[in-house]
Chains A and B, each alone.
Chain A
Amino acid sequence: MSTIGPAAGGKEPLIIARGLRKEYGDFTAVDGIDFQVNRGDSFGFLGPNGAGKSTTMRIIAATLTRSGGDITILGKDPEVRGPEIRAHLGVVPQQDNLDNSLTVEDNLYVYGRYFGLSKKFIHGKIEELLAFAQLEEKRGVKVEALSGGMKRRLTIARALVSEPEILMLDEPTTGLDPQARHILWDRLFRLKEQGVTLLITTHYMDEAEQLCDRLMVMDKGRIMAEDSPANLIKTYSTKEVLEVRFGSDRNAQFADQLRSMCDRIEVLPDRVLMYSDDCETLLHNVVSKGMQPTTSLVRRSSLEDVFLRLTGRSLVE
């Protein structure tokens, strides 16, 4: 079995977007974005609700027509050669659209048929996918009788029936229990090792950090930043973060005083985040100025801090 390492050899561009736009009526959901995804990449879209992630994903999936700009997928224009592009994609939409009135097994079967795959091939594949989604015991059950997380797993398995070159997952682990999430991460990682290109949107920073070697942060239809997770943290945050709480009413009251003491602060409803490369000293200074926080915590910067900085929005809002 030949294994193509991530981004092996000369990078072959699979998706190239230039000035990509999408308007719904007079509302602009995607506002002229440029990006490129290479074969073997695992590429993550981050951004608050309504940023335009799903919209971008659907344009790439050749199921939504763009309003402007250019995009090629596998070297083809989705408007002209949609079916050919879609033949090589596996798509997990944000909202499951399984056929509720069919069984688990039949859902996989009919979906495989849409790719023109032979019955024999699909039946072999079904076993593999049921194992993958851990739904062997539910194979004969109608989808409407599955739990939310099981449906999600089935949708993901369904996207794999055609052994896609590019796998697109729109918030794949929303609704999954922690164990199912970790199993999925493991499987996705193996697919990546086999050379499958991954496109993922997520609201979980740990997921983005685990799975993606490149991240694009979007807000209001624009790209705010694009880089590897480590570089993003390096560029947009300090080494460490100090979290202090003074009680809901007093956080804002101390804000001005705190701001002058470090690189940057963020005042959240329940706490204040202070950015500095040396937070132990910073905490010491805060206390010595007579501000006694009820709790304090020093931690390393994470993607959440990047997200907060770039979009001005907290995840726990």
Chain B
Amino acid sequence: MAISDLTRRGSLQIIDVAKILRNGSLYVAEARIRNLLQWKWSIVGEAVANPMFYLLSIGIGIGKIVNSHQSVGVDGVKYLTFLAPALLAATCIQGAVGEATHPVLEGFKWQKGFFAMNATPITGKQIANGVLLAAMTRVTFGCVVYFSALYLFGAVHGLHSLWLIPLTLFAANSFAVLMMGICAAIKNDDLFLNMVQRFLIMPLFLFSGTFYSLSSMPKFLQIIGWASPLWHATEVGRWISYGHHISHGALLFHFSYMAIMTIVGFKVAHHHFVKRLAK
């Protein structure tokens, strides 16, 4: 069957531009997810193994020593309960950042796949949104698995703790989209990702009041926590999970911080995706 044996209708007949302008992001996400599905067993394995490792090692291992040393627990609860919302948020934020930045390197630099997409009606904005959507789909899966593990380990209780899931995803999305935008803006981006991992993600993970309350840190280190979406998610998460004390004003602040990060993130990402594609 050669190409000329078929009636050629031509793109003017078969393509609906308005539809692409509407749904382009979904097509991009579909392609990304198709790509990810090749690794589905690794993804499932990681989603299950990661919480197990941390919960067993830090939650239970260190927890055993902590609980024997602190008669009233930490923040009034068992160490594992204290840790749970923070571990959930930390894992999902890291996962989202990785999944939102790695394809940016690949798409702009290694394989140039974004340029292939952009040769079709798909726009830079749609590519950014699609990649993020696929990343968040994966993270949502990981988040649900992690939450289930927390539940099985008795680290969270009750139906209300389900609110941890949307909260965590919101926080993860806010940071991921910002990092994605910055990644698109940077030229020497593999170096950049290394630096981000080392000087941003790691410190945020370690100094956001994840393993102990932020207030027990010296003031100058607390600043890291304030800037970190992880700390904001952790504070709200602890409030949801076991009623950690938090004022209304603080609650509003935490949410506003993450919301602003999201909005700025989208602006930056859209701008730089479009710009870099047209270079």
Contact = CB atoms under 8 A, between A and B. Distances in A.
**Would A and B touch once assembled, by the CB under 8 A criterion?**
yes
Given A65-B278, A83-B20, A113-B31, A98 B116 contact: yes
- Chain A contact-residue range equals 35 or more
B12 A113 contact: no
A128 B1 contact: yes
Interface string B209-248: 0000000000000000000000000000000000000000
B160 interface: no
B120 A115 contact: yes
A88 interface: yes
A180 to B, nearest CB: 15
A127 B31 contact: no
A1 interface: yes
Interface string B3-20: 110111111111111011
Contacts of B19: 116
Interface string A116-127: 110001000001
A131 interface: yes
Contacts of A160: 3
Main secondary structure of the interface of B (DSSP, over half): helix
A193 B24 CA distance: 32
A115 B6 contact: no
B20 A115 contact: yes
A128 B1 CA distance: 6
A97 B115 contact: yes
A190 B5 CA distance: 10
Contacts of A82: 121, 123
B277 interface: yes
A101 B4 CA distance: 30
A150 interface: no
Interface residues of B, number: 43
Interface in B18-40: 19-21, 23-24, 27-28, 30-31, 34-35, 38
Nearest to A125: B6
Contacts of B123: 82-83
Interface centre among A64, A114, A115 (most CB of B within 10 A): A114
A21 B164 CA distance: 54
B2 A111 contact: no
Nearest to A66: B278
A113 B31 CA distance: 8
B52 to A, nearest CB: 28
Given A93-B119, A113-B30, A114-B20, 19 more contacts: A1-B8, A82-B123, A83-B121, A83-B122, A97-B111, A97-B115, A101-B38, A110-B31, A110-B34, A113-B27, A113-B31, A121-B14, A131-B2, A132-B2, A163-B11, A163-B14, A190-B3, A193-B4, A194-B4
Given A162-B14, A163-B9, A86 B119 contact: yes
Contact of A87 (B3, B8, B20): B20
A98 B31 CA distance: 13
Nearest to A65: B278
Main secondary structure of the interface of A (DSSP, over half): loop
Interface of A: 1, 61, 63-65, 82-84, 86-89, 91, 93, 95, 97-102, 106, 110-111, 113-117, 121, 127-129, 131-132, 160, 162-165, 187, 190-191, 193-195
Contact of B112 (A86, A97, A164, A190): A97
8 contacts: A86-B121, A93-B116, A99-B116, A114-B28, A115-B15, A115-B120, A116-B15, A165-B10
Nearest to A24: B279
Contacts of A113: 27, 30-31
A95 B121 contact: no
B15 A99 contact: no
Contacts of A115: 11, 15, 20, 120-121
A116 B16 contact: yes
Nearest to A190: B4
Contacts of A110: 27, 30-31, 34
A106 B15 contact: no
A114 B279 contact: no
A114 B111 contact: no
A86 B34 contact: no
Contacts of B24: 83, 114, 116
Contacts of A83: 17, 20-21, 24, 121-123
Nearest to A187: B3
B203 interface: no
A63 B4 contact: no
A9 to B, nearest CB: 16
B121 A164 contact: no
A101 B37 CA distance: 11
A233 B60 CA distance: 84
A63 B124 CA distance: 10
B25 to A, nearest CB: 11
B205 to A, nearest CB: 29
B3 A128 contact: yes
B120 A111 contact: yes
B7 A1 contact: yes
Top 8 closest pairs, chain A to chain B, by CB: A114-B120, A83-B121, A110-B31, A97-B112, A91-B119, A116-B20, A190-B4, A97-B116
A102 B121 CA distance: 21
